Amino acid sequence: MKKNNNLLKNIIYIVVAILAMLVLNLFLDSYQVRILNLCFIYIILGLSMNLINGFTGLFSLGHAGFMAIGAYTVAILTMTPEMKEMNFYMKPMLPALINLNAPFLIALLSGGLLAALFGFLIGAPVLKLTDDYLAIATLGFSEIIRVVIVNLQSITNGALGLKGIPQKTNDFIAGRFDIKPSINLLWAGIAAIITIALIRLLMKSSYGKAFKAIREDEIAARSMGINLFKHKVMSFTIGSFLAGIGGGLLAVSLGTIDPTLFKFALTWNIILIVVLGGMGNISGTIISAMVVTIAMEALRFLDESINFGFIQTPALPGLRMVVFSIILMAVVIFKKDNIIKSTLEKARGRYAKN
């Protein structure tokens, strides 16, 4: 039967993907593994933003705030008490938190749930606003979260940030093959797979269609019985949950977090990914997340001094972001915001369905 064939196909894809991750984990060097890990994290972040912005049509600029919540939660729950003591040298940590610890999976899920809770609390009042105001309000909340993090010295260590977040490395398998351990890709990788599955299933379901209806025409949607508020909050909360998960994975991937990491620029990077991949386009987002992440790294050379042999250009920090901003604006202005989708279409010769 067709349905079972589909399920089988998907299971095979997933198994192959996981095996590929295991293999790559062993044979890429640790820098490349880190980049790949980052790709997976940005897939999760891109999809979570696409759910809110692309599929439901809510222009939210608050993503960084939810990521921060996820990141700090995971950091606090996974750092050893000794690490915490070392970090909180300016002002001691809240005693209740010093010994608070949890296994990574629980910490990650807690980060997601806490972010979702904030998403729900923030969404409730704010999602009634229209486009522009919603953008500014969510941006506002993201900034408030960041300012609060800077100021709650005894919980978050304020502007000093947190260092020494234990990284999830693949010691076990690396040991078997006698290779130096690197970041375990499976955490972010499997999280990404689950996220992709979740979003796909959600968007094919009746609720997903309701989200799209809201995006297309709110007035018609509510006249057909769709409770706008309930569905907007639902989309926003799920998106925030995934943003929290992404933030948590980012924390262990970097090993160090501080409030400046969660400025608006972070949200902007994800917007870049979503716009380039196509708003409301799952496969586009996946591809663009990987392309943008790799490109950001690859173009790092633009910030540095380039040696042409006979000429050496000076280090130009900021050039990388200038180039990216120009690319994004060119894409947006010349209306090819489905650039990756159209390339996909041409390659496959058929229309990519959502």
Q: Which residues bind another protein (CB under 8 A)?
A: 53, 59, 125-126, 129, 131-133, 135-137, 139-141, 143-144, 147-148, 150-151, 198, 201-202, 205-207, 209-210, 212-213, 216-217, 219-228, 234, 238, 264-265, 268, 271, 275, 279, 316-319, 321-322, 325-326, 328-329, 332-333, 335, 337
Tell me the closest approach of the beta carbon of residue 343 to another protein, in angstroms: 20
As given in the structure block, the two tokens for residue 30 are 């640790």
Residue 229, number of CB atoms within 10 A of its CB: 13
Smallest separation, CB 280 to another protein (Å): 8
Provide Rg for the chain, Cα atoms: 21
Residues 70-104 as b/e (b if ≥16 CB within 10 A, e otherwise) read bbbbbbbbbbeeebbeebbeeeebeeebbeeeeeb
The least distance separating another protein from the CB of residue 332, rounded to whole angstroms, comes to 5
Strands annotated E in the chain = 162-163, 256-257, 306-307, 312-313
Q: How far is the CB of 127 from another protein (least distance, A)?
A: 11
24 versus 150: smaller Cβ distance to another protein? 150
Q: CA-CA distance, 27 to 195, in Å (whole number)? A: 26
**Is 98 or 202 the residue whose CB approaches another protein more closely?**
202
Nearest to 152 by CA among 163, 141, 144: 144
Least CB distance to another protein at residue 279 (A): 8
d(CA 79, CA 260): 20
Q: Least CB distance from residue 296 to another protein, whole Å?
A: 13
CA dist., res. 140 & res. 146, Å (int): 10
Residue number, 321 or 352, with CB nearest to another protein = 321
Contact 114, 70 (CB under 8 A): yes
**Which residue, 227 or 256, is less far from another protein as judged by CB?**
227
**Cβ pair 283, 149 in contact under 8 A:** no
Extract the tokens encoding 289: 């997340």
Place of tokens 């993503």: 63
**What DSSP state is assigned to residue 51?**
I
d(CA 221, CA 213): 6
Nearer to another protein, 90 or 201 (CB): 201
Cα separation, 259 vs 185, in Å, equals 25
Nearer to another protein, 104 or 264 (CB): 264
- Choose between 3 and 309: whose C-beta lies nearer to another protein: 3
What minimum distance in Å lies between the beta carbon of 133 and another protein?
6
In the complex with another protein, the residue whose CB is nearer, 98 or 319, is 319
Residues 27 and 31: their CA atoms lie apart, in Å, by 11
Q: How far is the CB of 232 from another protein (least distance, A)?
A: 12
